[in-house]
Amino acid sequence: MHPDFSHDQHLLARPDQQIFWQRLTRRDSQSGRRLLMLHGAGVAGTLTWAPLIGHLTAHDELIIPDLRGMGQTVALEGGEPSFTLEQVVEDVMALIETQRITHFDLIGYSFGGLVAMRLAQRLRHERPDVRIGDISLLEPALLERECHSTMLKVREGYAEAAHAMREAASPEAGIIAFLDLISPHRTRNPRAERMMVTRLAHRHLGFANALDCVTHAVHEIDRDVLLADVMAAGGEVRSMVGGKSPETLREYHGLLAERHAGWQSLEIPGTDHSLPFQKPRRIGAELSFE
């Protein structure tokens, strides 16, 4: 994946899934820091994080799983069964346990940001022997706006997009509806638009399941308790948002930084929700703090 790292691939057997994951180890190891990297809905770990890897300097080991419904992780029964947030988190916890991982930094993008927060919360209460260092969240689901009731209404649009992906002859209309919700101010370059749609259509049913997974979690999770546990679970928390992302999202992350000591909010100019694809060098520099 990158010449500075050796690279190996593995499968983790779960009761109903084969979880594909990768380990990258820096050839000239220095710090010993490990980074667990959780991708977003509809895209695999490799596709999400490969542009970033060459810009990481602070971490010597990278752990990159493919979450349920995405990448090379597959259901044992075949098809694309629905899943819950807790199942996804338990997959990652099983990976941590089987590999005897006791300390790591954590990054999560979009859906993976929600998984990262819930993972931090559960590890804090269930596995206090596992130490999380710094937590980086790239436009995480559940933190899209301050008003919770408004966020619930917005999630109805995501549920409609997921329904369209499943029921229409082609998933394209549902994917475009999702993009209009998540990145309404994106640059609609035809080539870039086609690339995004093609990328998200690769496993469109798994993508739809991930959207529904988030919608269900938004109704079930106490966000204030979650945020308090995330702040208590690790070191510094930094969220990164796109400068072209909706104002309500950017304002809420600014408020989180004002309200919580140890929370830093960074706005990445010229980007929208696709910020890890658009500005990997800048994000890599932010992750390479000492």
Mean pLDDT of 27-54: 92
Mean pLDDT of 188-214: 94
For position 289, what pLDDT does the model report? 59
Say which residues have a Cβ less than 8 Å from residue 195's Cβ, sequence separation at least 6: none
pLDDT at 159 over 80: yes
Q: Which candidate, 144, 111, 89, places its Cα nearest to that of 40?
A: 111
For position 148, what pLDDT does the model report? 87
pLDDT at 192 over 90: no
For position 235, what pLDDT does the model report? 83
123-140 pLDDT, tens digit each: 999 999 999 999 999 999
pLDDT band at 16 (very low <50, low <70, confident <90, very high): very high
For position 234, what pLDDT does the model report? 75
pLDDT band at 3 (very low <50, low <70, confident <90, very high): confident
Q: What are phi and psi of 122, to 5 degrees?
A: -70, -40
Q: Which candidate, 106, 71, 68, 110, places its Cα nearest to that of 89?
A: 68
Mean pLDDT of 225-229: 96
d(CA 148, CA 155): 10
d(CA 276, CA 268): 10
> Burial of 244 by CB count in 10 Å (0-12 exposed, 13-18 middle, 19+ buried)?
buried
For position 189, what pLDDT does the model report? 87
53-102 pLDDT, tens digit each: 999 989 999 999 999 999 999 999 999 999 999 999 999 999 999 999 99
pTM: 0.96
Give the CA angle between residues 219, 220, 224 to the nearest 5°.
Answer: 95
Q: Which candidate, 82, 133, 89, 78, places its Cα nearest to that of 111?
A: 89
**Looking only at Cα atoms, what is the longest distance across the chain?**
52
pLDDT band at 113 (very low <50, low <70, confident <90, very high): very high
